[in-house]
Structure 1
Amino acid sequence: MFFQGNEKYNCATYLRLSRSDGDQQESNSIKNQRALLNDYMGKHPELHKFDEYVDDGYSGTNFERPDFKRMMQDIEKRKVNCIIVKDLSRFGRNYIETGRYLERIFPFMGVRFIAINDHYDSAEENDDKGRILIPFNNLINDTYCRDISLRVRSHLDVKRKEGQFIGSFAGYGYRKDPKDKNHLIIDEYAAGIVQEIFKQKLNGMSSQRIASHLNELGVLPPNEYKRANGFNYTCGFQAGLNQKWTVVSVNRILKNESYTGTLIQGKRRKINYKVKKSHDVGSENWIRVEDAHDAIISKGEFQQVQQLLELDTRTAPSQTTVYPLSGFLRCADCGQNMIRRTVTKNGKKYQYYHCSTYKNGGGCTPHMINSEKLTESVLAAIRHQVTLLVEAEKVLSNAELASGEQIGIKILDSQITALEAELERYSNLKIRLYQDLCDDVVSREEYGEMNTRFAQKIKEVQDKIQEIREKKQEALKHDTLLPTWLEEFKQYEHIKTLERRVVVELIDHIDVHSKTEIEIHFCFEDELHSITEKFMEYQAHHGNEVAEE
């Protein structure tokens, strides 16, 4: 044994407190721990206090604590040969690590260990009862910490599901409500920058050009903006004296759904209560609460930007924005993107689009089409579609007011009816497929392949029906006469030039068949088809009335 009865000990009094461990009792306060330890040492003259080591606010689940490390350094330098704590839970709550220190490290280094309230003193050689109970005490402390961790995690998840913000710092564009730290309010200046970023992206600017533009204006990037406004902000991203906007920081804002008012939390989670490291959580397990705070960007604009980010578009040399139709043109045969090229003939430059598969030698035909004529055709098609919709809205709105029925709701109902018929057809095909299997008309392999295909189709139709029903509920809730998406088309009633934002808002994609034939697929194509059908049907039955209007 390392300890002698008449030996004088240089003692380290170790104190620790952590709210995350559930240390909320007044008796565990640093002040009370210090009083208890000093009182104990006063009754034992062989104990001389060398220094006090305090880790206030550090968890006992691991030993990565600054003053604990300082104490171990003093032990290694032989300045300390005795440690005194209030109880074992103050030393640590990790069963395995605490046991390793008590049973191996401290005996090997000749360090006496005293836990006052646990009545444990390693200098007492014949204390067999204490040596038996100590491992159990350590295990209990470890289990207690685990239970507290689970309770805290559960409590935080409940708050997240209620739409309460759980985080140290609000995202760029928001700040914590002074009246409620779990609620976000808009930071007007930063929100203006966010809106400008989305606007520029919709207008055709690349993320690199947006970043350069913000740097030219001297706009502080998010992390520097928070520090400049007095936040004690730290993050894992690079910091320095000349921080600038980058493509990464711009794209991070463009992909952040919280700007639509949707609070998304729980993207990362600690591995367990003993390990500080965190791991990513699958998006299906994120906690999402819509309309948890005021939106900076509309959901429609956000979705349009997400679609743009998926397109393979680049800004042409000497241009600040991408071409209006970039990323929206597809070859009608192979489905690949059309790419732009410039041809010089007799000193004059001509711009064309042609199939990327053909250019790369993939076997498709050129599908070459003149850029100027294509732009004119798309612009004319948009004008025609908008004119038709404006006329349809006027006629159908009057008819709706006269009949007391909502045309928009009737359109959605007709879509649901058509989809339900399609759903029934696929369900019947699936039933007949099983009968064919029983009659040995198809093999098991064929059955498995076709059954999977039918099941996928059924799921797609069911999802579409659910989506339209939600639109119907939204329309009924707001008592809308006609679909709200019509406003997006109507604002371009007098359009004169084809701009990038017009294409983004109105067109899904364009199939190029040849130099004289294109097929434009508008956004809300199903809805457009339904309202046009209703309009044509109404014209057929009320031709004279429509003419008079």
Structure 2
Amino acid sequence: MYFNQKSILAADYLRLSREDGDKLESDSIRNQRSLINDFVKQHPDITLVDEYIDDGYSGTNFERPAFKRLLEDVKKKKINCIIVKDLSRLGRNYIETGRYLEKIFPFLGVRFIAITDHYDSAAESDDADQIIVPFKNLINDAYCRDISIKIRSQLDVKRKNGQFIGSFAGYGYQKDPENKNHLIIDEYAAEIVRFIFNLKMGGYSSQRIATKLNEMGVLPPLEYKRSRGMKYNSGFRSGANPKWAVTTVNRILTNELYTGTMVQGKNRKINYKVKECRPVAEENWIRVEKTHEAIIAEEIFQYVQSLLELDTRTAPDEDSVYLFSGFLRCGDCGQNMVKRSTSKKGKRYYYYHCSTYKNGDGCSSHLISEKIVHAVVLEAIQKQIALLVDAENIIRDSGMENYKKTEFDSLEKQLTVLHEEVERYKDLKTRLYQDMLDNIVTREEYHEYNQRFSDKLHNAEEAKRELEKKKEKAVVEGKREHPWIEDFKSYQNITQLDRKAVVTLIDKIIVYGKDRLEIQFKYADEIQEMTEVAQNIREIEEKEGRFKCGA
């Protein structure tokens, strides 16, 4: 290829990417520039007319702003020579880099020089060059792939250790100035998050929550971050005057981050050459609990998740949903009960009936007055709380507040015994086999005793597994014991139902007829266990003459 020595109009192309592993000082933009300038000084026939820099762009693809601008200037004949420090600065994609060197640059009449690789497309090439240059490109490609794998592995290790690796903390948090991989609470935004959860617990729909925040003039998350000087960009922004939207509110209401749990790895790049991300199956997300201070208690978060699954249609001209919306179920078909109203002598009456019946798909109406539902539910809540408080007082007065710990310790002891039993039968089976080899027992005796030991070993292992399940359950219940008790006791003097009380205390209300209801409370098993413990204490004290009625 022939170039007019007086018309070599060159551009230096500089690229740096930490993602590719370009961490050496020699790869810095400043050192690349210095090397190219020294080279040009030694070649007076070359005139350096412009500089193109892609700082922070990967070499695995050629969608880089400065490189694309460089190609446009080449097509406009402003440049006919490109100089880089080495071939990896042009790119680390073996196929694409080879295409530019062998097809695109020659077609455009561009001379290409890679200084430290001693490559100059204007020089006479020999067979060695035909082999070495593609081989170097292949090495650069492999190096990039290797670095990508290592970086991905390092990031996964950080995720599994509960370290935050995102560029921006979630709304309500900020990066710890002393440790960028740790989150601390942003008090102002955290108050907004708590406000959103409280409104949801109070029966507000997500749309009404968004409207209220906009009326209050609260900046949405994206604009709040920008107001604090962050160069934050998001695909969720829309319009010149961004507002809170239902999607924004729901993202906050479903974000486990607020419970102190770090959830990362929801998306993953296809590979080191394709930067597009694909969603990862939820079971493969990386969850680590208690990595940072919680803004929302776990119980409240779970209540809200259950609310989001309910029928939460907002009542007309009201800020909140109907009191029992999503909680009433038909006792026969299991479908939702729907609210209706009727007028009689100038008064409006409200009632519920089965949605299956309403749609003409069978079942019966299961008609019931809202007034009756309200009265029965209120009375049931009062009785349930009274029962719970009574049981708690009996347990506390007996000095057995830690009955969960007592149960846990008992399970631990039983597991130790069973573990020893399992090991003993394993040892007996081994010794029995040796006795047969030593002719101490016959083969028939060996099979007979071995079957007995195998049966006993199987039974011991089954019992051990069951106890381990009970132990695991006891650990979980022990952790959540106090919060749910306090939730119930906070309504100890309840005289009027509201949406928050229904959401906090009740799981579902099953309607069998106009005067037949079944109310399923949250933590029903735990309450039953407490009442049984209290009943046992009472019976023991009555036998010993220590229990006093009304005490």
| TM-score computed with the length of structure 2 as normaliser | 0.86
1:473 Cα deviation (Å)?
A: 5.8
1:133 Cα deviation (Å)?
A: 0.7
Specify whether residues 511 and 45 from structure 1 end up closer, same or farther in structure 2 by C-alpha distance, changes over 3 A only. Answer: same
Q: Confirm whether residue 280 of structure 1 aligns to residue 282 of structure 2.
A: no
Aligned to 2:548: 546
1:140 Cα deviation (Å)?
A: 0.1
Distance 2:86 2:345 in 1: 93
| Match for residue 470 of structure 1 among 470, 475, 492 | 475
1:132 Cα deviation (Å)?
A: 1.4
1:531 Cα deviation (Å)?
A: 2.0
Distance 1:236 1:302 in 2: 26
Amino acid in structure 2 at the alignment position of 1:150: I
Measured against aligned partners, the alpha-carbon deviations of 1:243-274 in whole angstroms (never above 9, x if no partner) come to 21111111111111101111111111111111
Aligned to 2:386: 387
Q: Structure 2: which 5+ runs fail to align?
A: 413-465
Distance 2:168 2:522 in 1: 38
Aligned to 2:132: 133
Distance 2:84 2:317 in 1: 71
Aligned to 1:407: 403
1:190 Cα deviation (Å)?
A: 0.9
**Which residues in structure 2 correspond to 1:289-328 (within 5 Å)?**
289-328=288-327
Specify whether residues 462 and 258 from structure 1 end up closer, same or farther in structure 2 by C-alpha distance, changes over 3 A only. Answer: farther
Distance 2:405 2:31 in 1: 70
Give the superposed CA RMSD. 2.4
**Which residues in structure 2 correspond to 1:96-495 (within 5 Å)?**
96-401=95-400, 406-409=402-405, 465=470, 468-471=473-476, 474=479, 484-495=483-494
Specify whether residues 5 and 249 from structure 1 end up closer, same or farther in structure 2 by C-alpha distance, changes over 3 A only. Answer: closer
Distance 1:463 1:354 in 2: 45
Amino acid in structure 2 at the alignment position of 1:232: K
Amino acid in structure 2 at the alignment position of 1:47: I
1:410 Cα deviation (Å)?
A: 5.7
Query: Does the 8 Å CA contact 1:409/1:472 hold for their aligned counterparts?
Result: no
Specify whether residues 411 and 364 from structure 1 end up closer, same or farther in structure 2 by C-alpha distance, changes over 3 A only. Answer: farther
Specify whether residues 73 and 357 from structure 1 end up closer, same or farther in structure 2 by C-alpha distance, changes over 3 A only. Answer: same
1:518 Cα deviation (Å)?
A: 0.5
Q: Structure 1: which 5+ runs fail to align?
A: 417-460, 476-481
**Percent of pairs with identical residues:** 58
Query: Does the 8 Å CA contact 1:114/1:120 hold for their aligned counterparts?
Result: yes
Distance 1:497 1:414 in 2: 43
Q: Secondary structure at the match of 2:277?
A: strand
Amino acid in structure 1 at the alignment position of 2:305: Q
Amino acid in structure 2 at the alignment position of 1:258: L
Q: Secondary structure at the match of 1:275?
A: coil
Query: Does the 8 Å CA contact 1:412/1:472 hold for their aligned counterparts?
Result: no
Query: Does the 8 Å CA contact 1:202/1:501 hold for their aligned counterparts?
Result: yes
Amino acid in structure 2 at the alignment position of 1:329: L
Query: Does the 8 Å CA contact 1:16/1:57 hold for their aligned counterparts?
Result: yes
Q: Secondary structure at the match of 2:349?
A: strand
Question: Between Structure 1 and Structure 2, how many residues are aligned?
Answer: 498
Amino acid in structure 2 at the alignment position of 1:60: G
1:371 Cα deviation (Å)?
A: 0.3
Query: Does the 8 Å CA contact 2:404/2:474 hold for their aligned counterparts?
Result: no
Specify whether residues 36 and 548 from structure 1 end up closer, same or farther in structure 2 by C-alpha distance, changes over 3 A only. Answer: closer
Query: Does the 8 Å CA contact 1:62/1:94 hold for their aligned counterparts?
Result: yes
Query: Does the 8 Å CA contact 2:342/2:348 hold for their aligned counterparts?
Result: yes
Q: Secondary structure at the match of 1:383?
A: helix
Distance 1:407 1:46 in 2: 91
Specify whether residues 412 and 516 from structure 1 end up closer, same or farther in structure 2 by C-alpha distance, changes over 3 A only. Answer: farther
1:76 Cα deviation (Å)?
A: 0.7
Specify whether residues 336 and 111 from structure 1 end up closer, same or farther in structure 2 by C-alpha distance, changes over 3 A only. Answer: same
Aligned to 1:458: none
1:34 Cα deviation (Å)?
A: 2.0
1:159 Cα deviation (Å)?
A: 1.5
Farther-moved stretch of structure 1 (535-544 vs 16-25): 535-544
Distance 1:127 1:180 in 2: 54
